[in-house]
Amino acid sequence: MTATWSVNKKIFLQNAITVKNNQPLMAVVKNNAYHYDLEFAVTQFIHAGIDTFSTTSLREAIQIRQLAPDATIFLMNAVYEFDLVREHQIHMTLPSLTYYYNHKNDLAGIHVHLEFENLLHRSGFKDLNEIKEVLKDHHHNQNAKMIISGLWTHFGYADEFDVSDYNVERSQWMEIVEALLSEGYQFDLIHAQNSASFYREGQILLPHHTHARVGIALYGSRPYSSLNQHDIVQSLTVKAHVIQVREVQAGDYCGYSFAFEVTKNNTKLAVVDIGYGDGILRTRAKHEALING
């Protein structure tokens, strides 16, 4: 029998409610909801009181629209299928000046969120001046045009505690937000916090923000190891059969790269029918497993 994984629906839902902490969340459901199944995750998150979702795939965004007709759906990667984005009322990132000027007319009627690149340097406007350039050009555009609904960034260092980078990127971002708001610009959605940032801030939103954009915590994974393991509860169980029991002696090594050293003679070693093909990586070595658990 092959390895199986199962999700406890009750635990999954309760964890989502606990993580939400009565705060407005944008649930990240990219990559088939981290392979928990998109339909399952969206349905449970709706039960938990979440009505805003984000993904990196237009195909998934359209699936979410079919599952949640009234939800706000944000596409974190810019695409070029503008008619589909409009048809399904998907919000989308605006990632650069070049993209804006090249597709200003194509974006007419589409809700966009202005993206600040911050320290991650992966995508987004480089600074406040670039953001304001778009805002001013948009204001003077008399043709059919996009709808600027949001402002966002991504924190790349929120799970790093030995360096100051999170404080730096947080500070730079807040300066952008406060500068724009002080000049009278308004946004329906402002979001930056990932799971790590959300928990570092005590499970509350940063000032002026409308949502935290939370992913892995909603699925039961702690964003950093020092977080209390009872704060986020995993609903996933992976099971496989023991296919051999072998006897090994003190001084023997078992597993790849001497992963386990035997310290007692006549030690019984269970060989379990699970591995790479089932998504269990070598980084999971030296973790506990239950036999007949």
Let me know if 256 is a catalytic residue: yes
Contacts of 184 (CB under 8 A, 6+ apart): none
Q: Which one of 20, 30, 34, 166 is the catalytic residue?
A: 30
Q: What is the pLDDT of residue 1?
A: 62
Q: Where are the domains of the chain?
A: 4-222, 240-284
Average pLDDT, the chain: 95
Scan for tokens 């000032």, then name that residue.
207
* Residue 59 tokens, joined: 């195909």
Q: Which one of 10, 99, 256, 286 is the catalytic residue?
A: 256
Residues 276-281, mean pLDDT to the nearest whole number: 77
- Which run of H or of E encompasses 60? helix 58-67
Total H helices, total E strands in the chain: 9, 14
- Which run of H or of E encompasses 271? strand 267-272
* Residue 293 tokens, joined: 């658990």
Residue type, 236: L
Residue 43 pLDDT exceeds 70: yes
Q: What's the whole-model pTM score? A: 0.91
Residue type, 147: I
pLDDT digits (tens, 9 = 90+) for 114-165: 999 998 888 899 999 999 999 999 999 999 999 999 999 999 989 999 899 9
Parallel/antiparallel/unpaired status of strands 242-248 and 212-214: unpaired
Structural domain 4-222, CATH architecture: Alpha-Beta Barrel (3.20)
The model's confidence at residue 65, banded by pLDDT at 50, 70 and 90, is very high
CA-CA-CA-CA torsion sign (214, 217, 222, 226)? positive
pLDDT digits (tens, 9 = 90+) for 226-275: 999 899 999 999 889 999 999 999 999 988 888 889 999 999 999 988 88
